[in-house]
Structure 1
Amino acid sequence: MSKLKIWETGISLNLESGDLLPNLTIGYHTFGTLNKLKSNVVWVCHAFTANSNPTEWWTGLVGNDFVINPKEHFIVCANIIGSCYGSTNPLSLNPLTGKPFYSAFPLITIRDMAKAHILLAKQLKIDKIKLLIGGSMGGQQVLEWSIIQPDFMENILVIATNAVHSPFGIAFNESQRMSILADASYFKNTQDGGKLGMKAARSTALISYRSYNTYLHFQKETETEKLDDYKVASYQRYQGDKLANRFNAYSYVGLSKSMDSHNVGRTRNSIEEALKKIKAKALCISIKSDILFPKEEQKYLHENIEHSKYELIDSVYGHDGFLLETKPLTKLILKHKLL
């Protein structure tokens, strides 16, 4: 079992917004051993509220006896800046004030996250990535990094992601932030600030991660006489509580804004021109029932990334299919010889 590693970089990171993030810390996990040719690196980029241990949240795809495994590969996953699992985040001490950042934490863009990954790769003496993989917000990081350093990765796999975050996605994120900001405790700037609001925000988010048929399949009532206390209502509350016990509202607000900021075309003339910079062999995968990152967005990536293939996974799980459909993902990784 790999343990969380902490790299105190000593670097103050110049952010895309123009702000400076002092004394950057990066939390990360590694599994396996870098071979002599340094040719076996698989770098996993995690999504919104995940941590840097993909064996916990991508079971069936990453770990012993799976297609991405430490016997064959040197697996790296870094906790994104702003997240509360090891990297600099809103609960970290601001060296300029001696107090946690809380709501004063600066905006971190997807591009800033990619720049932090580049710093860590250099620190780990990685010269080339065999496969760079990510879904959802993780896929956004994959695209940004592949544009910044097009010769650094041999293959990329992006699942249920996009080149620019959509108005629909931003609307969901803003609705979640409204729930958190409606909780007055958020403005008290304490570790538990905004916790009740974040529970409501998670419930809203979950609807976008699923689909009509997901709820119909897993949460349908069997009792015809029920008037209250529905199974799905209990499920929504449970998911809100579950996240509130492991995350904080300041990271949630900040990372949702990070996702909103995603646009690979910014400062690069156009989205199409930016995607044409990618040199890696790319596989773009859609989840058929995904309403948050619909298949049109991955088809667009395929049409504008020169060396790319496209696949569609039929799933009842909606957007979360990128995490749960590990068997078809494994088959597609092997089919397209990405490892």
Structure 2
Amino acid sequence: MQVNFQTFHYTHSFPLELGGSLPELQIAYQTIGKLNEKKDNVVWICHAFTGSQDVADWWQGLVGTGKLFNPENHFIVCANILGSHYGTTGPLSNNPKTNKPYFHDFPEVTIRDVVSSLDLLRKHLGIQKIKICIGGSLGGQQAVEWSISHPNIFEQLILVATDAVFSPWGIAFNESQRMAIEIDPTWKESNPKAGLEGMKVARATALISYRNYETYHITQNRGENALGNQLRAISYQRYQGEKLAQRFNAYSYYRLSQMMDSQDVGRNRGGVIAALKQIKAKTLVIGIKSDALFPINEQEFLAKHIPGASFQIIDSLYGHDGFLIENSLMTKAIRLWQKLIRLEINPMEAFFKKLEMV
């Protein structure tokens, strides 16, 4: 399996939707497999909140030899998004104007800014068409925005556990996390470890929205006669905060949460429905039945208003995180949809609404 980690440098000013610009841009990305002669085997995977370009690591159930996205057949691309921690221009990057890290001065960026940067990379790679674009959660927000802003590029679009407009419910979760970071006494400092204790609390808060009541009841059952720190849910929350703090930074966490809040594909396009109708790709929308952060009605809305879209429900214990865990169910849903497309059978929306994979 041929895996390449590379960096794209864009040496021009990069304008931002909310005003201002970045003096230049660097994008860290990974490619797996080879681009064929026709250049029609591209699979572009958009990563989620704290993900990275190393898609073969965090989505190994779907990416790899013999799996759904097989590098023997596909040219797989995944780019670390603007503002993130893993090599793309972000808060810990040096500002060329000061030759010092941005830290708090790194500007707020939107999903549309991310998509603009991804499209620069696409052009750099000489890719005219993308056979499949797939993303879950924040990655799905990128995928749907990209398919609207550049509708002629994509042949197939797969949107998983995501939305067209980020909800007030989701924004409230994110603001609560930002408040946790803000009250960390170190947050006002300018160093790579500033705000890490607050970020641990933020991550623990987020995790509740990524799972659900039943998930915790089964996986973090309190155990017989357990008290205090012996309670599994307590140690689990603390562990998850510590785990993230070992690989991420609070500046990126803060900015990426604001990025998620920015999602509204209808902004300056005449509304959400009008925007979704611009999508030309054959589209599969997948929802997780137990998802508390991106409830199933948000995927139903996408499928209803994207022309010809199909809708699939996956029944999972793991809530929103099911899109990262339920690899077998995801593979079955996508392969079924792709088979119907190859046979030129229209996957009727009503059929998929009734079909629940167990």
Q: Give the TM-score normalised by structure 2.
A: 0.93
Deviations 1:274-308 (A, max 9, x none): 00000001101100000000000000001110020
Whether the aligned pair in 2 keeps the contact of 1:3 and 1:29 (CA below 8 Å) is yes
Given that 2:47 and 2:136 are in contact with CA atoms closer than 8 Å, whether structure 1 keeps it comes out as yes
* 1:118-137 equivalences in 2 (<5 Å): 118-137=119-138
User: C-alpha displacement at 1:59, in angstroms?
Assistant: 1.4
Query: Partner letter of residue 313 of structure 1?
Result: I
Which residue number in structure 2 is paired with residue 246 of structure 1?
Answer: 247
Counterpart in 2 of 1:315? 316
1:93 aligns with 2:99: no
Corresponding residue number in structure 2 for 1:306: 307
Provide the C-alpha distance between the structure 2 equivalents of 1:227 and 1:274, rounded to a whole number of angstroms.
51
Q: Which residue of 2 aligns with 1:197?
A: 198
d(CA) in 1 for partners of 2:43, 2:4 = 18
Q: Establish whether residue 75 from structure 1 lines up as the match of residue 76 from structure 2.
A: yes
| Whole-angstrom CA distance in 1 between matches of 2:178 and 2:223 | 34
Structure 2 distance, partners of 1:170, 1:4, is 33
| Secondary structure of the corresponding residue to residue 190 of structure 1 | coil
For residues 233-284 of structure 1, give each alpha carbon's deviation from its aligned partner in whole angstroms, at most 9, with x where no partner exists.
1011110000000000000000000000110011101000000000001101
**Residue 64 of structure 1 corresponds to which residue in structure 2?**
65
> In structure 2, do the counterparts of structure 1 residues 39 and 3 end up closer, same or farther at CA, with 3 Å as the change threshold?
closer
User: C-alpha offsets along residues 71-104 of structure 1, whole Å, 9 cap, x if unaligned?
Assistant: 0000000100000101000001111222111111
Gaps of 5+ in 2: 343-358
CA distance 1:331–1:184, change in 2 (3 Å): same
Where does 1:283-298 land on structure 2 (aligned, <5 Å)? Answer: 283-298=284-299
Unpaired runs of 5+ residues, structure 1, are: none
Question: For 2:195 and 2:227, how far apart are their aligned partners in 1?
Answer: 33
Q: What does the per-residue CA deviation read over 1:127-173, in whole Å, with 9 as the maximum and x for residues that have no partner? A: 10110000000000001100011010000000000001000000000
- Residue identity opposite 1:285 in structure 2: I
Q: Is the 8 A contact 1:79 1:85 kept in 2?
A: yes
1:53 deviates by 1.2
SS of residue in 2 equivalent to 1:184: coil
Counterpart position of 1:146: 147
Whether 1:331 aligns to 2:324 is no
Structure 1 residue 224: Cα displacement: 2.5
Distance 1:222 1:158, change over 3 A: same
1:221 matched to 2:203? The reply is: no
Return the alpha-carbon distance in structure 1 between the equivalents of residues 100 and 5 of structure 2: 24
Alignment partners' CA distance in 2, 1:15 and 1:225? 52
RMSD of equivalent CA atoms: 1.1
Q: CA deviation at 1:125?
A: 0.5
Amino acid across the alignment from 1:145: W
Report if the CA contact (8 A) 2:44-2:76 is conserved: yes
Distance 1:211 1:277 in 2: 34
Give the drift of 1:18. 1.5
Q: TM-score, normalised by structure 1?
A: 0.98
2:353 aligns to what? none
| Cα deviation, residue 229, structure 1 | 2.9
Name the counterpart of 2:352: none
SS of aligned partner of 1:42: strand
Distance 1:236 1:114 in 2: 33
Which amino acid in structure 2 is aligned with residue 2 of structure 1?
V
Match of 2:140, SS? helix
Secondary structure class of the residue paired with 2:192? coil
Classify the secondary structure of the residue corresponding to 2:197.
helix
Q: Secondary structure at the match of 1:186?
A: coil
Aligned residue type for 1:215 = Y
Q: Partners in 2 of 1:255 and 1:232 — Cα distance?
A: 26
- Cα distance in 2 between the residues matched to 1:109 and 1:239: 27
CA distance in 2, matches of 1:71, 1:227: 51
Distance 2:226 2:92 in 1: 47
Distance, in Å, in 1 between the alignment partners of 2:97 and 2:10 is 17
**Distance verdict in 2 for CA 1:225–1:115, change over 3 Å:** closer
One-letter amino acid of the counterpart of residue 256, structure 1: S
Q: Which moved more, 1:247-256 or 1:51-60?
A: 51-60
1:279, 1:307 within 8 Å by CA — same for their partners in 2? no
Deviations along 1:7-62, one digit per CA (max 9) or x if unpaired, are 11212211111110111000000000001111100000000000011111111111
Q: Report what 2:156 is aligned to.
A: 155
Kindly provide the CA deviation profile for residues 101-133 of structure 1, in whole angstroms up to 9, marking residues without a partner as x.
Answer: 111111110011111111001100111011000
AA in 2 matched with 1:237: R
Aligned length: 339
Question: How many Å apart are 1:227 and its aligned residue?
Answer: 4.5
Residues 280 and 307 in structure 1, CA contact (< 8 A), matched pair in contact too:
no
Query: 1:228 Cα deviation (Å)?
Result: 4.2
Q: Kindly provide the amino acid, as one letter, of the partner of residue 254 in structure 2.
A: V
Assess, with a 3 A threshold, how the Cα gap between structure 1 residues 221 and 34 changes in structure 2: closer, same or farther. Answer: same
**How many Å separate the matches in 1 of 2:228 and 2:55?**
41
2:147 matched to 1:180? no
Contact 1:163 1:301 in 2 (8 A): yes
Instruction: Verify the 8 A CA contact 2:265 2:275 in the aligned structure 1.
Output: yes
